[in-house]
Chains A and B, each alone.
Chain A
C-alpha cells in the first residue's frame, strides 16, 4: 500500500514536470543576450518560467536543475512572425472578406510540425491565415509547447492580429470566379467598404452601449454580425494587422489606409519591395517581414533583392526574417547568416531579426526576444555560434521547460534506432 502511495506521488511529480514550467539554470555557456552584448562563461537562471538572472558568477539557487552548457551558445528562442504551422486549415478562400475566421480554431497542439520546428531553436510563432482574401482571418501567436493544451500555447500577453492581403493572390482567386476583386482597385474597394461597414456597425453598438450605461430602459440591442465584430475590434485597436504585400505601391497604400482609419499596422509580410520605400516603412514604425533572398517566383516578387536589408537597416526599419514555410522555419538562423553575405549590418542586429524584432512584430518584446531579467525563459542552445552555418540547435527551452533535446531525438542518438 505504501509503495503504491509512493508510486502515486512519483507519478504526480513526473506529470507535474511534464505540464508545469520548471526552474532551470544554464551554466557556462556563451550567452548572446541580443540586447546587452555577449557574456562569456555566463549563467542564465530561470525560475517559474521567467529569467531571474543573467551574467557571470550568478548564484544558482540550491536544488535547482543545472544544465552545463560549457562551450555552447545560448541565445533567445527564435521567433517566426509569419508561419502556417500547426494548423488544420489555412485559407477560408470562399469570400474576400472573412474576419469572422479565427485561426486558433484550426490549431492542432500535437501537430508534428511543432516538434520539427522546435528542433530549429524556435520557441514562438505567429501562425496565420493565408493570403487568399483581402481581409482574412485572425492569426494566432503561440509558443511551441508541443502537446500542451491549446489555451496554454496561445500567447495571452499580446494582441492577436488580423491577416490582410493585397496584390495578386486575392485578384487571381476572385477574378477567376468573375467576382470582385479582380484588380488592385478591387482590392482597395473591398477593404475600404468592409471598414466603412464596420464603422457604421461600431457606431450603432457604441450608441446602444452608451444609452444602456445611461440607464435607458426598453433598449433593443443591434443585431450581432461576427464579421463586423472582428473589424470593430480592429477599429478599437484590440486587434493588430499583418498585411501581405509585395510591391512598393502596395506598401505605401496600406500604410496610408491604416493611418486614415487609425488602425494598428504591425507587420508587412513578404515585403519584397520594402527597400524601395525604406523611409516610409521607418516612419510608419511597421515591421518589414520577409525573406532575405527569395525572388522571381512570381511576377510581383521579381524585384526581390538580398542587398535591400542594408538599405532598410540604415533607414531605421525594423527588419524581421520570416519563413512562411514549415521547412525554412527550422533553420531561420541560416537565413540570418545569409544577411551577412549581402549586407554590412552588425551581427547583433542580424540576430535581432530572428529574435527581438519578430518579438516586437507580435508585440511580445517585453516578454521575449532577448535574454534579460524579467523576460520569459525561452532559450535556444546551439553547439556553435548560431551564425556559423555548420551549427545546430541542441536544446530548445520554453518558459524553463526543455521541449527539444538533440541528445534524445537525433537519428544518431542511442535508442532512436532508425539507421
Chain B
C-alpha cells in the first residue's frame, strides 16, 4: 500500500476522530471523594481512565505524562446516572417530528435505534444533568409497543451511542383503546397472550423449516415465511430480551405477573401505583421494578406520603428497583430530573445509599448491563460525573461529565442561550 495513503488513513481514523483521540488519552480525576456505589466511599482518591475504561482507582496514581488531569479536590465523583423509559434521541425538536408510538396495537418489531438522532439537543441537556446512560423506548401507548435501546449519551453516529440494541420489549398492561379491540384490561391480556402463543407456534414452524435457511422440501402451504412481528417476540420468549410491563394499578400489575408466569418470561414491572401490596411477591420472584410513582399524587383515601415512602418499603423488602420520573412519561425531555423522586424518597424514609443505587447500579442491573455501567469499578466503562455534593441534593452542581472515557463539553442549547443573553 502507498505509504502516504496509509498515513492519511491512520490520521483520519485515529487523529481526526475526536471521540477516539480523547479516549486514547489518559484522564486522571484527582483527589475527589469517590462514591463507587459498589463498596464504601473513598476519600481523596484518584481514578485513572484509559481507552474509555476505568483502569485504576486508588491514592496517588501515576498517570502518563500526557494525561489530562481533572482536579476534583473537595468534590464528589459519582457514576453517571442511568435513566430508563426515556425518549431521548427520538422525539427530536418539538414540531420537527416525534418518532414515538407507531400506530397499531402490536408493533414489537419497532426498534427505536431506527429513529435515533444523535444530534437531538436533549442529549446534551440530559448528560449535563449527570445522566450518562438512557434506555430509549419506541413507545408506551400500545399493548405491545416495541424494542428499546440502551445508550451512552455521547457519540457522533447512532451506533456510537449504543450499549445494548434490544434491551427490552415494552408491553403496556393498561393500554386499552377507546373504541377498538382491546378496549378492556382483559382484552389487553388476551391480545398479548395471543401474540405470544402465535410467536411460539411461529418458532416451532421456523425450527421445522430449518431456521432461516429455508429448506427446499416443504410444500407451498407450509412454506415458512419471515414475519417481523413474530421475530421480534422470539427473544422475549427465550428470555434473551426482558419483557417490560408498564402497569398503572394493582389490576395491571397482577395481569403482568400472570403473563410473566404463564410464559416464563424475564419480567420487569414498571409501576406508578399499587406496588406496595406486591413488594413481597416481587422480591420472592426476583422480578425487578421500575418505580415511576414517587411524585404521583396518592388517592383521596391514601396517606399523602404513600408514594414518597414506597421506595423505602421496596428497599426494605429487598425488591431490586430503579427510579423513573413518571408523570411526564416517555415523551418528557427532562430526564435530567431523575434525582427528584430519589430526593423525595430519601426525605420520606429511604436510605440515601439505596437511593443512589436506584439511580445508577440498579437500573444497570435490571437491564443486564451492570458489568459495563452504573458503578465506579476498574474495568468498567468510564461514565463519571464530578459533583459538588450528592445527586439527591437539588442544589448540587455538576462540574465535569465523562462518558465512554471522554470528557464531554459542558455545553447544551441552554448554556448557549445563557451565554447569548448574559451579555445584555
Contact = CB atoms under 8 A, between A and B. Distances in A.
Interface of A: 112-113, 115-116, 119, 275-276, 278-279, 293-299, 301-308, 311, 326-328, 330-331, 334-335, 337-338, 340-341, 387-392, 409-413, 416, 418-419
Contacts of B334: 293-296
24 contacts: A115-B304, A275-B421, A276-B421, A279-B424, A295-B334, A296-B125, A297-B94, A299-B93, A301-B94, A302-B93, A303-B417, A304-B414, A305-B414, A305-B418, A305-B421, A311-B421, A334-B344, A340-B394, A341-B397, A389-B339, A392-B308, A392-B348, A410-B304, A412-B349
Interface string B324-351: 0001100111101101100110111100
B276 interface: yes
A294 B94 CA distance: 14
A392 B349 CA distance: 10
Nearest to B397: A341
A413 B305 CA distance: 11
Please classify how large the interface on chain B is, using the bins under 10, 10 to 19, 20 to 34, 35 or more.
35 or more
B296 A327 contact: yes
B306 interface: yes
Nearest to B94: A299
A297 B332 contact: yes
B333 A296 contact: yes
Given A334-B344, A389-B393, A390-B392, A410 B305 contact: yes
B417 A296 contact: no
Contact of B304 (A119, A328, A335, A390): A119
Nearest to A334: B394
Contact of A390 (B333, B393, B413, B417): B393
Nearest to B313: A419
Interface in B365-424: 392-397, 413-415, 417-418, 421-422, 424
Interface string B12-30: 0000000000000000000
Contacts of A116: 297-298, 304
Interface in B101-147: 121-122, 125
Given A308-B417, A341-B395, 8 more contacts: A112-B299, A115-B304, A305-B414, A308-B418, A327-B296, A335-B394, A392-B308, A409-B305
B176 to A, nearest CB: 24
Contacts of B349: 412
Given A113-B297, A390-B393, A295 B333 contact: yes
* SS class, residues of chain A in contact with chain B: loop
Interface string B289-326: 00000011111101111101100010000000000000
A390 B347 contact: yes
Nearest to A382: B347
Interface of B: 93-95, 121-122, 125, 276, 295-300, 302-306, 308-309, 313, 327-328, 331-334, 336-337, 339-340, 343-344, 346-349, 352, 392-397, 413-415, 417-418, 421-422, 424
Nearest to A331: B344
A341 B332 contact: no
Contact of B393 (A306, A328, A388): A388
A306 B421 CA distance: 13
A292 B337 CA distance: 11
A28 to B, nearest CB: 22
A156 B309 CA distance: 37
Given A297-B333, A330-B297, A390-B346, A307 B418 contact: yes
A389 B306 contact: no
A326 B395 CA distance: 23
Nearest to A118: B304
A390 B418 contact: no
B54 to A, nearest CB: 26
A415 to B, nearest CB: 11
Contacts of A299: 93-95
Nearest to A391: B347
Contact of B395 (A302, A306, A308, A387): A387
A343 to B, nearest CB: 10
A278 B418 CA distance: 13
Given A409-B304, A411-B305, A416-B303, A389 B94 contact: no
A305 B424 contact: no
Nearest to B416: A305
Contacts of B93: 299, 302
Contacts of A335: 394
A386 B304 CA distance: 19
B352 A390 contact: yes
B392 A389 contact: yes
B94 A390 contact: no
A411 B303 contact: yes
Contacts of A113: 297
Closest 6 CB pairs of A and B: A337-B394, A307-B418, A340-B395, A389-B343, A296-B333, A119-B304
A388 B327 CA distance: 23
B179 to A, nearest CB: 21
Nearest to B121: A296
Interface centre among B343, B346, B347, B397 (most CB of A within 10 A): B347
Contacts of B296: 327
B303 A305 contact: no
Nearest to A328: B295
A418 B277 CA distance: 11
B327 A327 contact: yes
B41 to A, nearest CB: 17
B304 A338 contact: no
A308 B417 CA distance: 9
